[in-house]
Amino acid sequence: MEWASFAYETGPFHSISGDNLGCFGASKKKKDAQPVQPKEVASTSRSANQRSEPLKGMELLWHPEVVKSYLALLQSCSNPETLEAAAGALQNLAACYWQPSIEIRASVRKEKGLPILVELLRMEVDRVVCAVATALRNLAIDQRNKELIGKYAMRDLVQKLPSGNLQHDQGTSDDTIAAVLATLNEVIKKNAEFSRSLLEAGGVERLMNITRQRQKYTPRVLKFAGQVLFTMWQHQELREVYKKQGWKEPDFVTKTVAARNAGSNSPNNANSTLNRPMASQGGTRYEDRTMQRSANSNNTSSRSPGPSMYQRGDDIPMADMSYPEGGTHAPPAGGVRNYPPNSVSASFR
């Protein structure tokens, strides 16, 4: 991938009409004759000029300057524990609609953090990929970030979806698949060109591979995959393109998905779990694991055997994704997991 062409301009970005969402998901329609400046761009500029007193206390945790520290870790560290934690921190910092999150999303772009995150999608450590994909999903709330992710990260995102090859698929958890699907849906839902890019990258085949193996994946993954296909079909100008490649409407729109999108709880609704940011809350992955946990933990899905050390945040949009801690991923009792540096560095080649 040629990152030199990654656009980091700071000028106003002309948003797609109707894409700016308020805190409660209400779309703000603009007149076609007026240029649209995203709320995030204007708000970031205002905030940067207003701050004069020095930062102190807890404010240091979410100030845009902290982005540099996390990106430095993501760029220089080879320890998967550190990479996962740093990506998870950015994920949570970018997960809200308040002013600090708006500034964080812009800061990641201005500090050239997007290509760093996209490169980490190529790692073979599933937990790192999951945290990175979720961070990209939240960063895509910023319209300019969304454009860059759609343009430069599409193929890397598609490559993390199941291909039907057992050797390729066995290392990817349902949580990671769900995070990638949520990112793809966010990127393509109002952009036909990115939907076309998803098609050209072989995304439809991989999405079909998921929906046709209902016994293999969790209901959440099946729901998200079906929704991405449905979103692709909503771009009417691409329907003939789909048909020329052999796809038909029933491939994109099943009765179940159509019924789900017809009601007020439609995934296309801005307040649905698919369209809201993801955050880790409650028992997170970034806690002290040198202490013994109680034995009555929730079980993970059948694809991730072993007891789960972390609770599901069912009350948080799309954050009820389990973090399996079984099998080969489990650390020794009372110990901290170590990773051979050779296997980590090899994944960057």
**pLDDT exceeding 70 applies to what percent of the chain?**
55
Distances (CA, A) of 100 to 17, 60, 207, 249, 323: 25, 11, 35, 42, 27
Q: Is residue 339 pLDDT above 80, yes or no?
A: no
pLDDT reported for residue 165: 78
pLDDT tens-digit map of 105-135: 998 999 999 999 999 999 999 999 999 999 9
Q: What is the rounded distance in angstroms from the CA atom of residue 332 to the CA atom of residue 17?
A: 53
pLDDT at position 215 is 86
Label residue 53 by pLDDT band (50, 70, 90): low
pLDDT-derived band at 240 (thresholds 50, 70, 90) equals very high
The pair of three-digit structure tokens given for residue 54, joined into one six-digit string: 């020095």
**Structural domain spans, the chain:** 36-45+62-152, 161-284+298-329
Q: Is residue 169's pLDDT more than 90?
A: no
Q: Six-digit token pair at 32?
A: 């076609």
Asked if 122 and 305 count as a contact pair (C-beta separation under 8 A), the reply is no
Q: What pLDDT does residue 65 have? A: 78
> Residue 307's beta-bridge partner residues?
299
CB atoms within 10 A of CB 260: 18
Cα(197)–Cα(195) distance, integer angstroms: 5
Query: Residues 264-321: pLDDT tens digits?
Result: 555 555 545 555 555 554 444 433 343 343 444 343 344 433 333 333 322 323 333 3
Smallest CA-to-CA distance from 281 within 82, 88, 97 is with 88
pLDDT in tens, 171-187: 889 999 999 999 999 99
Domain 36-45+62-152 belongs in CATH node 3.30.413.10: no
Q: What is the pLDDT of residues 22-38, one digit of tens each?
A: 322 333 344 444 444 44
pLDDT at 170: 80
Average pLDDT over residues 143-156: 94
Say yes or no to pLDDT of 60 above 60: yes
CA atoms within 13 Å, Cβ hemisphere of 203: 30
3-state secondary structure of 307: strand
